[in-house]
Amino acid sequence: MFDIKIGTVIPATAASTMMPQLNAKGFESYELDFNGTLQNILPTMKEHAAKINETKGESVIASCGYYFNTLLEEDKRAYLKELIKNARLYDCKIVSVFAGGEPDKSIPETMPLFKKVFTELCALAEDNGVTLALEGCGEGWYKGCTNMAYCPHAWDLMFEAVPSDALMLEWEPAHAVNELMDPVAQLRHYAKKVAHIHGKDGTVAWDIIREHGMDAGYNVFFDRTPGFGDSNWADFFTILLMNGFEGSCDIEGYHDPVHFDDVEWSAQLTALDYLKRCRGGVENYPGPIEYRGYQGKRKK
């Protein structure tokens, strides 16, 4: 089978009804989004997970996502701890989160609190066989940051502060494109720290920038469904595969400025096909086994 599965992000509350429909279209994995619902699901999580496992078919639950300001929202952090303890119910080993931030401080000034909170969370994750994947949206190096895992400089500070194998990245190129960073160069450096991929791309409107600049009231960046943005995803998957990545890329839809509402899922189907081709194929075809070339075994 392919090392990279292609799927999508869906609400945890609707997953059991959505997955059979999406499985039939070829989706292979899912991130369950628990935002706004985790506290209600927790009392009956065993039953909820059993229903998910009953209806997921051959697909996998790649990640359980719960996004909030992890450093400051202690009530939600208590829910997060329960999700870390119970992710195994979904046969899931990744919990995706925001790093959080202190908006009145710079990122370097926030590192002591990050170290305190995430040392505890990573210890809990390690005890439960879970990886915490930091989602990469955000801004505000000097002030105003509510999720500081948005750039390589911050990643380096966080990995240095909390040197745990349970702390990794939930990477996507859209955030790099939005900051005018090169996502290929970024990924080549951090590929071994990627646990999960969000399938979301971006487009920079260079014509607007050339005419008006960056700060004239015009939107110069747009989130895009993969296949409609600026990036060549074959480059990303090549780098990941060369670094031993085995996991999922789940399309983070619901952001595209033109492909939404009644064409949301048509665009996601297009992205599904595109991403499968970029990873190496839509259909896994192992034969003819008599001859596969001179390169030997792909995996030892």
In this predicted structure, the answer to whether residue 300 has a pLDDT above a threshold of 80 is: no
Check whether 249 has a pLDDT greater than 80.
yes
* Virtual torsion, Cα 278, 279, 280, 286, nearest 10 deg: -150
Q: Is 259 exposed, middle or buried (0-12, 13-18, 19+ CB in 10 A)?
A: buried
pTM for the full predicted model: 0.96
DSSP 143: S
Please enumerate in sequence order all residues whose Cβ is within 8 A of that of 297, keeping only pairs 6 or more positions apart, or say none: none
Beta bridge partners of 170: 135, 196
Q: What's the full length of the chain, in residues? A: 300
Q: Calculate the alpha carbon distances from 268 to 1, 26, 200, 215, 242 in Å.
A: 22, 11, 10, 32, 26
Mean pLDDT, to the nearest integer, of 7-33? 98
pLDDT, tens digit, for every residue of 141-164? 999 999 999 999 999 999 999 999
Q: Which residues contact 122 (CB under 8 A, 6 or more apart)?
A: 132, 162, 164, 166, 167
Residue type, 232: N
Instruction: Look at the alpha carbons of 179, 242, 277, 267 in this order and tell me if their dihedral is positive or negative.
Output: negative
Checking if the pLDDT of 255 tops 80, the result is yes
**298 — pLDDT class (breaks 50, 70, 90):** confident
**Segments in the chain forming alpha helices (H):** 15-23, 38-41, 45-55, 74-86, 107-127, 152-161, 173-178, 183-190, 206-212, 233-242, 264-279
Is a pLDDT exceeding 80 seen at residue 245?
yes
Integer-rounded Cα Rg, in Å, for the chain is 19
